[in-house]
Each structure stands twice: as structure tokens, then as C-alpha cells.
């Protein structure tokens, strides 16, 4: 399997830089700085040091015995839930934070939906001594009060976004608007493999540590490559991170998207976040990719019980890999995810993030898709989701 | 009227409004008012759910217009009903064009009296296919130059653009501003092009409009200030603003037939 790139900003037909002229120069400077720094041994040593001692890498590849027994095959979990902060988000943020510092930036801005990426950005801002401001939709601020408080404890400022649907996509719009005016001292720390070049490439490379470790670990443990790797997809950073270790292999790569409460859409809101499965080609946040939109090209709001999967776009590289058949898109709805959440807690004593629970739930309901040996990317831990799950249970009892 | 025709009588005043705000029915009348008051070109914005190049005023207008029933079909029907004798220019985001199909969109522009397109999230690197469609339909595709556009990039943009060149007066998004920045004047000087130069983003008063014309621009573009007055229902204020601006830029340079072009 070869990944074809028509030009260096694209993945096949997807990607590119569909941005206002004011953002072309900031993107160019970022792409050049990053391309230079990733070849700089001293920079990479510093990043590896932080990944080891601050983030806690490498994360274990854990043989989930009870889950394996239940599914009648061997299943491993890649434990990104053990990364500092409780999710894979920090891998990306540490790398971009260091790039920002090397570029002489003094301020970080970030978007956040559930607050996980915002919290990771705030941690790195504190750690590297960079002023940090996080755009967060008013609706999300109300839903995620704990994470707002965490960000504030870490010294970041949370800026409420009042425009549009007041959720994640609007926070990205607002961060892009800020960056167009502030880039001389500010780095825009994007949280996933979406957006204009170089973000999809850079974030995938910074997350590829997951796949590199997992490949070595499974070879050491099993003496062979897995039949499948399963990961949930919001924008696609944890999925691209782990998939990138196996792209050149025969391993089946399963991208599980949020099925939400169904596959339909009304005028403004889709009931899901499944862009690879149900989206159409279009431009969102600077990239040509698969998006949720109405027939005129207005972007729809997405929905998922997992805030981190609640995004009406997907990374352009995933759109490309799905199109050429290298990645297999799949769907897990809210109920499947909640089942994954509960079953993994009981079976393994691990409470997964609701996002990761989509991958777990998919595996529970589709064991035959996994082959004999599978890795599930456990992208985060579920502590942040306890109130959401409690509410879901209360609602169900009523 | 073609843009090249309009630019024979410089300096020009270009007014931007958000189509469909406050209602689809109101827009043709507002365009006619703008023409009466002295606007030479009207940019008709097609509202998008995610306008990343726009500030709060135009964002809010877009949202109101979408809620009032604006969509691409209504947009073209409305444009073809406008009876003012001035060039209409489309302004809107690429995804809206892409979903309709590039050839169909450019053709619909031509058929409804729209003579040019401004697409703020489409740099020349990504514009190849739309440019082809616009050439086929014989409508102009107008590119933007920003204060942070590096010198080596300016000729590339200028050569791809047709109709005029849109000089973005400030970093960031659309909106009103209290002064014309030194960087705006520097930009007007920096850009060497055969095409007319129109300056927009942040121009909201007659003085500012006059200042950019004095600095060498061929046209001043006023957007958020119009949209703001429309949102307040102050059409009289709108008419006065446009009159005032037109008067101010004429005082800088009396109308003259420009031989070049
Ligand atoms: C734990 C966890 N997993 C997954 C995601 C989804 O993001 P991505 O698809 O970029 O991995 C998020 C986003 O917030 C998250 O917090």
C-alpha cells in the first residue's frame, strides 16, 4: 500500500489550505519551522524527554485477558489513558508547545469542545511558561464546568465563544480569527489532525509515537503484527497516531465514528458525528475533507454522547485513507459506547473515556471484524465522563 | 455592467451587504438604495454558517439571514431581480460554491447579473478549478492581498486576479476600525499591479475612505458599517453614509476617464 500525495499539502484529493490570505503566511512559517525542527536532534531530545518524564511515556500495551476471553480472541489495549492528563492529547500539545517556543511565540491559543485539548494546552502553557487562552463554546462551558475550572487552575484563560452554534466548530473559527491578527506572537495549537496544512501532517506525526510504540510492543509480546487496530475518530488524531505505525503492513485499520442517536439529520443538526461514513466532500476549517453539511454547503452541528467525537469534520488524511480502502470506517452509536464504557470497567477495572468507549463498544459488538489478534487504542480515561454517564442512566430509568 | 467598465471612472466606492439580512425580500431594495446614494459596485455576500474571515457584525448578519431563509437558490433568484445599473459581485465561502458545482455556480452568477466573485477562503493555490469555471462563464475572480503577504507572492496573486485586486487593510477579520493603519498605506504602495486596487476591511467613515484613495487606492470598500446600519433598520443612515463616503473620495480625485486598463 502506497500513500499518494499529489502535492505536499494534500493527501490524494483531500487536505490543502482553504484559508484567508492573512493565514497563508502564518501557515507557511509554521510548516517551515516544524519541518526544520523535526530534523533537529536537540529539539527531538527535548520532546522525547518531556514525553518520558512529564507525559509518562511509553504507555503500556496491556493484554486485556477478561475482554479477550469474552471476545474469544486476543485483545490488547494501548494505554493512552495513562498519559498525564488522562488522554493522548498531550502528545500533540507538547510537540506544538515546543515548536511555538522555538518560533519565539509567547502566547498559545487553542480550541476545545469537551475541554480535554484545552486542559492539555493549559498544562503545556503552564509547563513551558506560555500565556494560554482557550476558546470554548458557551454551550460547552455550561456542559463541562470541571474542565473549565481545571484550565483556570492551570493558569489559562477560557474565552467563551458566543457565535454560531457556540460549540467546537465555532471555537475553531474563533481561534482562526484570533490567529490571523495575532500570529506574530501567538501559536495556534490545534488539537487534532484537521484544518489546513501543516496541521494534519504535524499532528499525525506528533501522535505517531502511539503507533511506533504499539508496533514494537505487539511484536515483542506476540512475535507478529495484529490482524486489526481499532480506534475512535473525532478529528482523528488518536486514530492516525496509532494507525501510522501499521500503514505499511497488512493490519486492518478500523476507524470507529460516533453514531450518536441515529444516522439522520435535520436542517441544522445531524444526529451523529460520522463524517467518513455519512459525510460528503467539502471544505471545513481550511481543509477539503468529508464533512456534515446541508445541500447548500452550510455546516451542520454534529452530535455524540462523547464530546470529543462531536465534530462535523474529520482529518483529510483519514478521508483519503478511507477512500483508497486502507482504513475501514465503522460506527458505534451512543448506546454501544455506553455498553463499552460499562463492560470495560467491569471486565478490566479500567474506566475508559466515552470517546474510547466507542472503539471498545464496537469491538464488543463486532468481534469477528477484529481477526485473532487486535489492538484497541484506549485514547483516554473516563473520569471526566462520570457526570455524563450518570445523567444518561438517570434519564434511562425515568 | 462589467467591472472593467466601472473602473474606467475612478475612484470607486464599493459597498458590501449580507444578502438576505434582514430578509430575502429586502435585499434588492437595499441594493437600489446603495446605487442611488452613490455606490459604484455592490458586493452581495452569501451567508455561510462558518465565516472564518468575518468579524462579529457580519457573522451575526449571516446568522440572521440564514434563519430568515437565505440559501444559494434564493440568492440567485434575488440577484436576478436587482434592477440597479451597477456591477454586482458575489462574496462568499468556497464550500457554498463547491456544493453547487463550480461550473454551475459560475454560470448562475453570469445568468443573474453577477460579474465577479470574491472568495475569501480561496487562495490562488487552491483556486485553479474555480478560475477555469469563471473563465468559461466570463465572470471575474478577484483575489485578496493581505498586509502580511510577502513581496514575492504579490505578483503571483496579481496575475491570477481579474476585475480588481482586493487589498485587505488589516490583519484579522472584517469589522470597523477607528483609523487607517500605516501598514494599509504601505500595502497600497507595495502592490504593483495593472489591475485596479480596492481596499477593504475596517473602512467605516468618509475620512477613512478618502485616506485610502489619497494613498493610491482605486476604490474603497465599506462592509461592516453598512451591515451594522442595516441591522439597526437605519436605512436613512445607510444612505447618508454612502453619500458621505462618495463625496469624500470624489474630493480627493475628481472623476476622470482613466485611459489605462
Ligand atoms: C479521550 C479522547 N479520545 C478521542 C478524542 C477524539 O479526538 P481525535 O479523533 O483527534 O483523537 C478526544 C477528543 O477530545 C478525547 O478526549
- For residue A272, give the CATH number of its domain: 3.40.50.1100
Question: Minimal Cα distance from B144: which residue of A?
Answer: A21
Which stretches in chain A have pLDDT values below 70? Answer: 1-7
Give yes or no: B121 in active site: no
Residue ending a domain, among A199, A222, A245, is: A199
Ligand 1, pocket-test mutation among A238, A257, A273, A378, most atoms within 8 A of CB? A238
> Does the residue A298 lie in any domain?
yes
Same domain, A276 and A359: yes
Instruction: Work out whether strand A14-15 and strand A10-11 pair parallel, antiparallel, or are unpaired.
Output: antiparallel
Same domain, A45 and A171: yes
For the cut 80, the answer to whether the pLDDT of residue B172 exceeds it is no
Same domain, A67 and A162: no
Catalytic positions of A: 89, 111, 379
Q: Do the Cβ atoms of B49 and A299 come within 8 Å?
A: yes
Q: Is A336 in the pocket of ligand 1 (CB under 6 A)?
A: no
Q: Which of B21, B40, B43, B218 is catalytic?
A: B43
Same domain, A49 and A80: no
The b/e string for B88-121 (b: 16+ C-beta within 10 A; e otherwise) is bbbbbbbbbbbbbebeebbbbbeebbbbbbbbbb
pLDDT of residue B255: 55
Q: What is the DSSP string of A65-129?
A: HHHHHHHTSEEEEEEGGGSTTSBTHHHHHHHHHHHHHHTT--EEEEEESSSHHHHHHHHHHHHHT
Q: What is the mean pLDDT of chain B?
A: 93
Domains of chain A: total:
2
Give A-chain residues touching B96 at CB under 8 angstroms: 296-298
Q: pLDDT, tens digit, for every residue of B209-237?
A: 999 999 999 999 999 999 999 999 999 99
Same domain, A193 and A122: yes
* Domain limits for position B80: 3-260
Same domain, A170 and A238: no
Nearest Cα to A339, choosing from A322, A367, A359, A313?
A: A359
Q: Is A31 in the pocket of ligand 1 (CB under 6 A)?
A: no
pLDDT of residue A299: 97
pLDDT of residue A264: 78
Half-sphere exposure of A136 (CA within 13 A, CB side): 31
Q: Do the Cβ atoms of B49 and A298 come within 8 Å?
A: yes
Give B-chain residues touching A285 at CB under 8 angstroms: 50, 52
Residue ending a domain, among A149, A167, A199, is: A199
Same domain, A240 and A368: yes
Same domain, A74 and A30: no
pLDDT of residue B261: 41
Residues 6+ apart with CB under 8 A from A380: A80, A81, A86, A87, A88, A89, A116, A308, A352, A353, A355, A356
Task: Give the residue carrying C-alpha cell 495484529.
Answer: A226
> Does the residue A6 lie in any domain?
no
Minimal Cβ distance to A180: which of B97, B145, B171: B171
For the cut 60, the answer to whether the pLDDT of residue B258 exceeds it is no
Contact A76, A374 (CB under 8 A): yes
Domains of chain B: total:
1
Give yes or no: B43 in active site: yes
Contact A231, A255 (CB under 8 A): yes
pLDDT of residue A7: 58
Same domain, A278 and A144: no
> Does the residue A7 lie in any domain?
no
pLDDT of residue B254: 60
- If you measure from the C-alpha of residue A74 to the centroid of ligand 1, how many angstroms do you get, rounded to a whole number? 25
> Grid coordinates standing for B164?
480588481
> Does the residue A307 lie in any domain?
yes
* Domain limits for position A98: 12-53+89-199
Minimal Cβ distance to B173: which of A25, A164, A177: A177
Query: Any idea what the CATH number is for the domain that residue B41 is in?
Result: 3.20.20.70
pLDDT of residue A143: 79
Write the DSSP symbol of residue A384: G
**Least confident residue range of A190-194, B77-81, B184-188:** B184-188
Rounded to 10 degrees, what is the CA torsion of A129, A134, A140, A146?
Answer: 20
Nearest Cα to A65, choosing from A349, A387, A383?
A: A349
Write the DSSP symbol of residue A377: E
Q: Do the Cβ atoms of A298 and B96 come within 8 Å?
A: yes
Residue ending a domain, among A170, A199, A228, is: A199
Residues 6+ apart with CB under 8 A from B97: A297, B105, B117, B119, B130
Question: Hey, which residues does B199 pair with through a beta bridge?
Answer: B167, B220
For the cut 80, the answer to whether the pLDDT of residue B180 exceeds it is no
pLDDT of residue A397: 82
**Least confident residue range of B55-59, B134-138, B236-240, B253-257:** B253-257
Find which of B48, B49, B63, B67 to mutate to test the A interface (most A CBs within 10 Å of its CB).
B49
Q: pLDDT, tens digit, for every residue of B30-58?
A: 999 999 999 999 999 999 999 999 999 99
**CA–CA separation, B41 and B90 (whole Å):** 11
Where would I find the H helices in A183-328?
A: 199-222, 237-243, 275-278, 316-323
pLDDT of residue A8: 83
Q: B128 to chain A, minimum CA–CA distance in Å?
A: 12
Average pLDDT score over residue span B58-81: 97
- If you measure from the C-alpha of residue A226 to the centroid of ligand 1, how many angstroms do you get, rounded to a whole number? 23
Minimal Cβ distance to B96: which of A177, A281, A297: A297
Nearest Cα to B154, choosing from B197, B185, B93?
A: B197
Q: Across the beta sheet with B144-145, what order do the strands follow?
A: B140-142, B114-118, B88-91, B41-45, B12-18, B219-222, B197-200, B165-168, B144-145
**CA–CA separation, A342 and A349 (whole Å):** 10
Same domain, A239 and A179: no
Same domain, A177 and A236: no
State the ipTM, two decimals: 0.94
pLDDT of residue B179: 65
> Does the residue A374 lie in any domain?
yes
pLDDT of residue B249: 97
Say how many Å lie between the first and final Cα of chain B, rounded.
16
Amino acid at each position: 500500500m502506497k500513500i499518494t500525495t499529489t502535492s505536499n499539502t494534500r493527501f490524494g484529493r483531500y487536505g490543502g489550505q482553504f484559508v484567508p490570505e492573512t493565514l497563508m503566511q502564518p501557515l507557511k512559517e509554521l510548516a517551515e519551522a516544524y519541518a526544520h525542527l523535526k530534523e533537529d536532534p536537540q529539539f527531538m531530545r527535548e520532546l522525547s524527554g518531556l514525553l518520558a518524564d512529564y507525559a509518562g511515556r511509553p504507555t503500556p500495551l496491556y493484554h486485556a485477558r477478561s475482554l479477550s476471553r469474552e471476545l474469544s480472541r486476543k485483545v490488547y489495549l494501548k494505554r493512552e489513558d495513562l498519559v498525564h492528563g488522562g488522554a493522548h492529547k498531550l502528545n500533540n500539545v507538547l510537540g506544538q508547545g515546543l515548536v511555538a517556543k522555538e518560533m519565539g511565540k509567547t502566547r498559545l491559543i487553542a480550541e476545545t469542545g469537551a475541554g480535554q485539548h484545552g486542559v492539555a494546552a493549559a498544562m503545556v502553557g503552564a509547563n513551558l511558561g506560555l500565556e494560554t487562552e482557550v476558546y470554548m463554546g458557551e454551550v460547552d462551558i455550561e456542559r463541562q464546568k470541571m474542565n473549565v475550572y481545571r484550565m483556570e487552575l492551570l493558569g489559562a484563560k477560557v474565552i467563551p465563544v458566543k457565535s454560531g452554534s457556540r460549540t467546537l466548530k465555532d471555537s475553531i473559527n474563533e481561534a482562526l480569527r484570533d490567529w490571523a491578527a495575532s500570529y506574530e506572537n501567538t501559536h495556534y495549537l490545534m488539537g487534532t489532525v484537521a484544518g489546513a496544512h501543516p496541521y494534519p501532517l504535524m499532528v499525525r506525526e506528533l501522535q505517531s509515537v502511539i503507533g511506533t510504540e504499539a508496533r514494537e510492543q505487539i511484536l515483542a509480546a506476540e512475535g507478529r503484527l495484529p490482524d486489526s487496530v481499532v480506534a475512535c475518530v473525532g478529528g482523528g488524531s488518536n486514530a492516525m497516531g496509532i494507525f501510522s505505525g501499521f500503514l505499511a503492513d497488512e493490519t486492518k485499520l478500523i476507524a470507529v465514528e460516533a453514531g450518536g442517536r441515529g444516522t439522520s439529520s435535520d436542517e441544522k443538526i445531524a444526529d451523529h458525528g460520522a463524517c467518513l461514513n455519512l459525510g460528503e466532500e467539502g471544505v471545513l476549517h481550511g481543509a477539503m475533507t468529508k464533512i456534515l453539511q446541508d445541500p447548500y454547503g452550510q455546516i451542520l452541528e454534529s452530535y455524540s454522547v462523547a464530546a470529543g467525537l462531536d465534530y462535523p469534520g474529520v482529518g483529510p488524511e483519514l478521508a483519503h485513507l478511507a477512500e483508497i480502502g486502507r482504513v475501514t470506517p465503522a460506527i458505534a452509536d451512543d448506546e454501544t459506547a455506553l455498553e463499552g464504557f460499562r463492560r470495560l470497567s467491569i471486565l478490566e477495572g479500567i474506566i475508559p473515556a466515552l470517546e474510547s468507549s466507542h472503539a471498545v463498544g464496537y469491538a464488543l459488538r463486532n468481534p469477528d471484524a477484529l481477526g485473532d489478534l487486535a489492538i484497541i487504542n484506549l485514547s483516554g480515561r473516563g473520569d471526566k465522563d462520570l457526570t455524563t454517564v450518570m445523567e444518561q442512566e438517570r434519564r434511562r430509568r425515568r | 455592467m462589467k467591472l472593467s467598465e466601472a473602473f474606467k471612472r475612478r475612484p470607486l466606492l464599493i459597498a458590501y451587504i449580507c444578502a438576505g439580512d434582514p430578509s430575502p425580500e429586502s435585499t434588492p431594495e437595499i441594493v437600489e438604495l446603495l446605487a442611488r446614494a452613490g455606490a459604484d459596485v455592490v458586493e452581495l455576500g452569501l451567508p455561510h454558517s462558518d465565516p472564518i474571515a468575518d468579524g462579529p457584525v457580519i457573522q451575526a448578519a449571516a446568522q440572521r439571514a440564514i434563519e430568515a431563509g437565505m440559501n444559494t437558490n434564493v440568492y440567485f433568484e434575488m440577484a436576478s431581480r436587482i434592477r440597479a445599473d451597477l456591477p454586482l459581485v458575489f462574496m462568499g465561502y468556497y464550500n457554498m460554491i463547491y456544493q453547487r458545482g463550480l461550473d454551475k455556480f459560475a454560470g448562475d452568477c453570469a445568468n443573474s447579473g453577477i460579474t465577479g466573485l470574491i472568495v475569501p477562503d480561496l487562495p490562488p493555490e487552491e483556486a485553479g478549478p474555480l478560475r477555469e469555471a469563471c473563465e468559461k462563464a466570463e465572470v471575474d475572480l478577484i483575489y485578496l492581498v493581505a498586509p502580511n503577504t510577502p513581496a514575492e507572492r504579490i505578483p503571483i496573486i496579481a496575475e491570477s486576479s481579474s476585475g480588481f485586486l482586493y487589498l485587505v487593510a488589516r490583519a484579522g477579520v472584517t469589522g470597523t476600525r477607528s483609523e487607517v493603519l500605516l501598514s494599509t498605506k504601505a500595502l497600497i504602495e507595495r502592490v504593483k499591479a495593472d489591475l485596479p486596487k480596492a481596499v477593504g476591511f475596517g473602512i467605516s467613515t468618509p475620512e477613512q475612505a478618502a485616506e485610502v484613495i489619497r494613498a493610491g487606492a482605486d476604490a474603497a470598500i465599506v462592509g461592516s458599517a453598512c451591515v451594522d446600519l442595516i441591522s439597526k433598520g437605519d436605512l436613512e443612515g445607510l444612505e447618508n453614509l454612502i453619500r458621505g463616503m462618495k463625496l469624500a473620495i470624489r474630493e480627493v480625485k475628481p472623476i476622470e476617464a482613466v485611459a489605462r486598463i
